[in-house]
Amino acid sequence: MTGFKNVKAYVKDKGLITTDISVENGKISAIGENLDITDPLPYCEGQAVLPGFIDEHIHGAAGADAMDGDKKSLFTIADALVKEGTTAFLATTMTQSPENIKRALKNVDVCMKEQQSGAKILGAHLEGPFISEKHIGAQPLKYLKDPDVDFFNELSAASGNNIRLITLAPEERGAAELIKAAVHNGATVSAGHTDAGAEQIAEAIKNGLSCITHTYNAMRPLHHRQIGTVGAAMLFDELYAEVICDLIHVSAPAVKLLVKNKPKNKIILITDAMRAKALSDGVSELGGQTVIVNGGEARLTDGTLAGSVLKMNDAVKNMVLKCGVPFTDAVDFATVNPANNLGLKGYGEIKVGNFADFAVLDGEFNVCATVVNGKVAYKS
């Protein structure tokens, strides 16, 4: 039987324990002592077996971008992500022409059906075009659109109804109707690239909003007379809060403040990585815009941050070593929390019946092996 023998593993409701884990038909079949593991999965003493990481907000890696709209690019991203312990992800689009967004979404649908290796493509994250001009970030201004239910339905149809997450500005005209429609369609709705104040976020929550996109970045900041989107992220416990923990987009004290003010089951680590991830510094591209990558920072030519080159195992490492978060909490931020935010069943925890998706890390947070559906997808 395939599985792990006598390993240190982070098991649901038990914490880090020494145990055996058996795998059958791509799922976890048993957890306990003295299991008959005849075909052991990669593991060495001193390592930890964790649930596979889930990245709900990633644009690209290894020279490829979800907006490329072709199978080779999306499969390239999937194959790159397992090297950082990520076993599942949402292919994230961006504000672009309707034709380009639809092409990218159609490609997600095709690749979900044909994928054979790498991290699992769970669907799409639609970031834009229903966002605020005031917090445009690295999104192309000319393609912004007011929230539009009919257009969203066109995009959903193009994706094969695989839009699992949508980022929008809830203060924009038509947003309330779109939030309701998206939730009815099975998508999680997140506020991002937004100028919404706390009152507008509170109203959006009533309509089904449940998350904040890359908290602190591209949104109205906290002020003592108007707490803005950032303050609302901390005030409303029911909201999940994404954070890019590269310590470039958000400082360590800001991450600590967020962690201190949110329930620990509501924080989500994302990479928001673009195509330059896993490549050398130099010139890259995002949505037709030139990006300069230097020293781990990806910026447009005007200096605007343009996504990241962050790896998920490094995000977990930064949470623990730079922000003082307990190890298992940091792992939750990259596993069970995004799974719950997206309503995923069978993901995010090591428990019987869940998919056999694992990240094996050493004491330095290096990824030693990644297992997807019970099969080794990466080994260092």
Which structure tokens are listed for 283?
Answer: 């010139």
| Residue 140 pLDDT | 86
pLDDT in tens, 241-298: 999 999 999 999 999 999 999 999 999 999 999 999 999 888 888 877 888 888 888 8
pLDDT in tens, 103-125: 999 999 999 999 999 999 999 99
- pLDDT band per the 50, 70, 90 thresholds, residue 306: confident
Q: Which of 195, 272, 332, 357 is catalytic?
A: 272
The verdict on whether 362 is a catalytic residue reads no
Q: How many CB atoms lie within 10 A of CB 337?
A: 25
- pLDDT band per the 50, 70, 90 thresholds, residue 32: very high
Phi, psi angles (nearest 5°) of residue 376: -70, 120
